[in-house]
Amino acid sequence: MKVFCGRANPTTGAVEWLEEDENYDYHQEIARSCYADMLNDKDRNEKYFQGIRAAVGRVKERGERAIVLDIGTGTGLLSMMAVTAGADFCYAVEVFKPMADAAAKIVEKNSFSDKIKIIQKHSTEVTVGPDGDMQCRANILITELFDTELIGEGALPSYEHAHQYLVEEGCEAVPHRATVYAQLVESKRMWSWNKLLPIRVHAEDGEKVVVSLPEMEDCPGAPTVYDIQLNQVPFGDFTALSKVVAVFRIDFSKPVSRASGHHTVQLEPIRSGRAQVVLSWWDIDMDPSGSIKCTMAPYWVQTASDDIPWRDHWMQCVYFLPNEDLVLQGESVDLTAFHDDYSVWYRLQKGRNDDAGIDVCVERPVCCCQAHLLWNRPRFGELNDQNRTAQYVQALKKALKRDSVCLSISDGSLLPVLAHHLGAEQVFTLESSAVSHSLMKKIFKANHLEDKIKIIEKHPELLVSSDLEDRKVSLLIGEPFFSTSLLPWHNLYFWYARTAVASFLTSDVTILPQSASLHMMIVEFKDLWRIRSPCGTCEGFDVHIMDEMIKNSLDFRESREAEPHPLWEYPCKSLSDPLEVLTFDFRHTVPEHVLRKEGILNLLRTGKSHGAVLWMEYHLTPGLSVNTGLLQVSNEKGYCQWTPHCKQAVYFFSSVTEPKPLTSNHSAVAYAIGFSPKTGNVTMDFKLLN
């Protein structure tokens, strides 16, 4: 059956109706999943196998049959481990139909169909009995229901139901327990991901300060955790105010409750400072003795000799406190972790050693200032980047005149405030959503500009002359930034918006930025290549079906094949020089003809060519640019530094395999890059040359 799906094109802003089959959403979910990463996580797989062998062994020592329940089986890997370890039978539960189908094929391929039953249901719908999905309760419970926050994939409700209805009392569980750890830190960099800091602008009539809205001061922020690769955050970017403490534990072999709760630990600050952020992670013990441990601890917690496994499916958590609070060395404070059935959040209390007053914080935090609804964490960092702001201030000083009528087109941008402070006669800002309109209205009011800057809540194509008070725009500005953008070129929506408002511009209008360019470089990733690496075999089991499944599902329609990734979290080295491949001139309207460039890019360094990285650079005025990608190639080895505020586009080559030291299979890459103005799509094709 075919269906038609309406989808807003991030680049053109137009709604497109695309014909899809009924499994389209499934395909997209598989494409964005981490199945390959998990299957290639050797440390995870080995620890699970060890824990499963030990659990089966303990059951057999008691003279019992080993009946396994595997919740969230995915590929069926853990179930196959259990049977290999001697389990008599395994019930493998998987609610996601395409994965359940794949698991059935993989189990059959590995000749385990007689001992593994795939149940395509949510575990809370599974029944036990002669006519049920399971003939009897299991005495071994195996799960992999965890995310970076541990409980974010619904582990607690699933465990609660399983203990009530699906497993025997006192069952063996793999993993056996989990421990959540936390560390209190001060970090200017991380705090800039959560609050809008004051921005100072030097104008002709003195210094102006752009302030945040009052509601943001005590706003708890975005309700979701910020999961990042903490191993890529330099130790100098934060100051530890406490030692690492165990906040709470969950024993999976005993009944588990999904009820909301809290756990308080007393901290003894190891130094004085501003408590701003809680860094958190967890580890799991695969056996009761704790001798088989899988940990997410970052590098500064583990010993120097540890070979820290790389993972992208489990990372570490950054939790922001509602406001910064001064803590003093030697004066204890209480850190409380709250949780509901899916989320964790933290609060800090000073001078309390009991749970008095705790109940006021049990409610899951929700943004009350609206800024966290419009701006994600990287966007906060971008707005707080003083060097970036300085580029826009310099460009505006060059472009502005006393009689300038300015129109800003970006989502929730502070450029209108900067333009006003730097002397624009009249400033209009186009906000296409009710959230951005409401937020900017509050920011303008906090800066006493509610009567100075006019907000127009419209899409560009709906603009009429009266919206601009019948005036012509002499300066059109944009960062550009749009909240719907995923890939670097999606912000080219500014070009389409500029074209839509062309009739309202003066003949000598200044466009800022005046142009943009798309850049490309061939890289070798240290670890990121693993997420698209073939699975083939895993712990001796044939799981190649997943390779075909992932390959067939990689249909990133926004770019044809590129994927967005924040490369500051994923080290890589350049194998080629960066190359400018396409330019987009905003001083003119969007052309009708396709922009295209073909050529050959020579590889200058040895290494494995994992893929191409693409990013945008915006040219504000002659000599002033803002880069959204490569900042520099740091040394002769080619290690790259990337802007932390944006995601870059990564095109993985089809032959992604584990790199071999000091070898290179290719000496050049042939490329063809095209931009279709009609669709807004960037298409690309690459061929590795010997």
- pLDDT at position 538: 81
Nearest to 279 by CA among 247, 325, 257: 247
- Read off the pTM: 0.92
Average pLDDT over residues 74-87: 96
Question: Can you tell me the distance from the alpha carbon of 288 to that of 468, in angstroms, rounded to the nearest whole number?
Answer: 70
**Interior angle at CA 613, CA 281 and CA 43, nearest 5:** 35
Q: How confident is the model at residue 558 (pLDDT cuts 50, 70, 90)?
A: very low
- pLDDT at position 39: 86
Question: Can you tell me the distance from the alpha carbon of 529 to that of 657, in angstroms, rounded to the nearest whole number?
Answer: 8
Q: Helices 97-109 and 544-553, interaxial angle, to 10°?
A: 150
- pLDDT at position 535: 77
Catalytic residues: 144, 153
Q: What is the CATH number assigned to the segment(s) 385-512? A: 3.40.50.150
> Cα 396 to chain center, whole Å?
32
Q: What is the CATH number assigned to the segment(s) 46-144? A: 3.40.50.150
Q: What is the pLDDT of residues 201-232, one digit of tens each?
A: 998 889 999 999 999 988 999 988 999 999 99
How high does pLDDT run on average in the chain? 91
Q: What is the pLDDT of residues 479-527, one digit of tens each?
A: 999 999 999 999 999 999 999 999 999 999 999 999 999 999 999 999 9
Question: Can you tell me the distance from the alpha carbon of 121 to that of 126, in angstroms, rounded to the nearest whole number?
Answer: 7
Average pLDDT over residues 147-165: 96
Q: How confident is the model at residue 13 (pLDDT cuts 50, 70, 90)?
A: confident
Q: Which listed CATH number (2.70.160.11, 1.10.3720.10, 1.20.120.80, 3.40.50.970) goes with 178-374? A: 2.70.160.11
- Give the 3-state DSSP-derived string for 194-259, with helices as H, strands as E and coil as C: CCCCCEEEEECCEEEEECCCHHHCCCCCCCCCEEECHHHCCHHHCEECCCCEEEEEEECCCCCCCC
Long-range contacts of 550-555 (CB under 8 A, 24+ apart): 550/30, 550/31, 550/33, 550/35, 550/36, 552/27, 553/26, 553/27, 553/28, 553/30, 553/31, 554/31, 555/27, 555/28, 555/31
> Cα 261 to chain center, whole Å?
27
- Give the 3-state DSSP-derived string for 351-384, with helices as H, strands as E and coil as C: CCCCCCCHHHHCCCCCCCCCHHHHCCHHHHHHHC
- pLDDT at position 218: 87
Q: What is the pLDDT of residues 322-366, one digit of tens each?
A: 899 999 999 999 999 999 999 999 999 986 555 544 544 567 889
238 within 8 A of 190, measured Cβ to Cβ: yes
Q: Backbone dihedral region of 62: left (phi > 0), alpha (psi from -120 to 50 degrees) or beta?
A: alpha
**Interior angle at CA 267, CA 263 and CA 270, nearest 5:** 155
> Tokens in use for 434?
């009710």
Q: Worst-scoring range by mean pLDDT, 49-58, 166-175, 392-401, 656-665?
A: 656-665
To the nearest whole percent, how much of the chain has pLDDT over 70?
90
Q: How confident is the model at residue 47 (pLDDT cuts 50, 70, 90)?
A: very high
Q: What is the pLDDT of residues 515-549, one digit of tens each?
A: 999 999 999 999 999 888 877 778 888 777 776 66
582 within 8 A of 500, measured Cβ to Cβ: no
- pLDDT at position 555: 42
Backbone phi, psi, residue 130, to 5°: -55, -35
**Interior angle at CA 297, CA 291 and CA 299, nearest 5:** 120
- pLDDT at position 552: 56
640 within 8 A of 627, measured Cβ to Cβ: no
Q: What is the CATH number assigned to the segment(s) 515-689? A: 2.70.160.11
Residue 665 is classified by DSSP as S
Question: Can you tell me the distance from the alpha carbon of 471 to that of 37, in angstroms, rounded to the nearest whole number?
Answer: 55
- pLDDT at position 537: 76
To the nearest whole percent, how much of the chain has pLDDT over 90?
80
